[in-house]
Amino acid sequence: MSNDKKLLYSGMQATGTLTLGNYLGALKNWVTLNEEYECLYGVMDLHSLTVRQVPADFRKNARSLYALYVAAGLDPEKNCIYYQSHVSGHAELSWILSCFTYMGELNRMTQFKDKAAKHADNINAGLYTYPVLMAADILLYQADLVPVGADQKQHLEITRDIAQRFNSIYGDVFTIPEPYIPKAGAKIMSLQEPEKKMSKSDENANATIKLLDDRDTIIRKFKRAVTDSDTVVRYAEEKPGISNLMDIYSCVTGKSNDEIEKEFAGKGYGDFKLAVGEAVADELAPLQKRYEELMADKAYLDAMIKMNDEKAQYLANKTLRKVQKKVGLTERIR
């Protein structure tokens, strides 16, 4: 990471299969912003531990996530794509930052409240301090920009607050990161309950498009998408189903809402849903093909993981040593 490009950092939890929401809200934008920035992308496996995982499935999911990043178009020789748990600095910085985070701040996190309600039998401390680990991820690499979906906005705000608090005590230690939340695609909604975010963990399979769904499945799910009793393709608050489909179509075709409304003027919802399904299937086809190739090439993926883990570890250590020194921890004798 030697040039003067600004630094972009992001990541996803290593659970389940990515959804179209993950793709349009984040991954697709990572690829678009990729050339302009020096980029690091984490497979956020430590974050996934806040929910119980089946170890063997979890390992497979993490590797699959790594391959999906690459299949989407992120070159692991140009971008540092690595496993969070392979860089010890995340957990170490997280501890230090937790001593600079107030419980009042964590109490306000809506994602904690949602997840606690969903996993009432396992409201563990990790779920509560999750935003501190996320702040550590970002601040460890001195990130300038963090592209995420709208649901991560609050976590970015607390990251900035923690960094500013730390800097106000110890001087300019951390870069204050800016969120990058796309206009269209920041919040892709469920195809079955368009008032609800599209989520990996939805029990209704028709609600979610998975990145590895085949073409027929994708088209079938869009055909079944819940809309309204009107027939006009128009973007409006009172038409959340159609507006969501328009957002999706706009993200994959680059067309504006005006253009989409014109394209489907006089046509019914059936035509529109089919067009969205086909456009999404076309968009995902090359990614799926590349994914299969990558998953079959064990040696290549292993080599990329090893190389990038080392790169990330090196960068993380630079910040970590600085922070340890600032707070007055005794330096190691070398």
Residues identified as active-site: 115, 197, 200
Q: Which stretch binds ligand TYM (CB under 6 A): 132-140, 162-170, 217-225, 260-268?
A: 132-140
Using CB atoms, what's the residue nearest to ligand TYM?
A: 25
Q: Give the residue with the Cβ less far from ligand TYM, 248 or 279.
A: 248
Q: Name every residue whose Cβ is closer than 8 Å to that of residue 333 and which is 6 or more positions away in sequence.
A: none
3-class DSSP state for residue 180? strand
User: Does residue 47 interact with ligand TYM by CB under 6 A?
Assistant: yes
Q: Which of 7, 8, 21, 62 binds ligand TYM (CB under 6 A)?
A: 21
SS3 (DSSP) at 108: coil
Interface with ligand TYM, residue 146, by CB under 6 A: yes
Per-residue interface string for the shown chain with ligand TYM, residues 239-278, x marking contact by CB under 6 A: ----------------------------------------
Determine contact, residues 180/28, Cβ cutoff 8 Å: no
By the 8 A CB rule, do 174 and 138 touch? no
Angle at 147 between CA 141 and CA 149, to 5 degrees: 135
Q: Which of 7, 8, 26, 252 binds ligand TYM (CB under 6 A)?
A: 26
- Asked if 87 touches ligand TYM (CB under 6 A), the answer is no
Q: Which of 8, 10, 287, 323 binds ligand TYM (CB under 6 A)?
A: 10
- Angle of the 125-140 helix axis to the 298-327 helix axis, nearest 10: 90
CB atoms within 10 A of CB 3: 5
Instruction: List the one residue from 76, 89, 149, 194 that touches ligand TYM (CB under 6 A).
Output: 149
Residue 188 or residue 323: which is nearer to ligand TYM going by CB?
Answer: 188
Task: Write out the binding residues for ligand TYM, residues 157-196 only, by CB under 6 A.
Answer: 186-188
Comparison of 151 and 278: residue with beta carbon closer to ligand TYM: 151
Residue whose entry in the numeric block shows the structure tokens 């001087």: 171
CA distances to 120, 129, 331 from 123, in Å: 6, 11, 36
Among 92, 144, 151, 157, binds ligand TYM (CB under 6 A): 151
Per CB under 6 A, does 65 bind ligand TYM? no
List 11, 76, 89, 241, residue binding ligand TYM (CB under 6 A): 11
b/e 139-155 (16+ beta carbons within 10 angstroms → b): bbbbbbbbbbbebbeeb
In angstroms, the Cα distances linking 57 to 43, 63, 114, 222 are: 15, 10, 24, 28
CB 101, CB 158: distance < 8 Å: yes
Rounded to the nearest whole angstrom, what is the least distance from the CB of residue 235 to ligand TYM in the complex?
Answer: 17
Q: Degrees (nearest 5) of the Cα angle 287, 289, 291? A: 65
Question: What tokens does 214 get?
Answer: 């085949």
Q: Find the part of the chain contacting ligand TYM (CB under 6 A) among 32-40, 91-99, 144-152, 304-312.
A: 144-152
- What is the sign, positive or negative, of the torsion defined by CA atoms of 190, 195, 199, 202? negative
Q: Closest Cα to residue 228, out of 268, 188, 196? A: 268
The correct pick among 80, 148, 219, 246 for binding ligand TYM (CB under 6 A) is 148
Distance CA 276, CA 222 (A): 7
Task: Kindly tell me which residue out of 38, 45, 137, 213 binds ligand TYM, with binding defined by CB under 6 A.
Answer: 137
Q: How many chain residues interact with ligand TYM (CB under 6 A)?
A: 25
Asked whether position 138 contacts ligand TYM by CB under 6 A, the answer is yes
Q: Does 233 engage in binding with ligand TYM (CB under 6 A)?
A: no
Single out the residue of 158, 198, 242, 320 in contact with ligand TYM (rule: CB under 6 A).
Answer: 198
Q: Which residues bind ligand TYM (CB under 6 A)?
A: 9-13, 21-22, 25-26, 44, 47, 134, 137-138, 146, 148-149, 151-152, 155, 186-188, 197-198
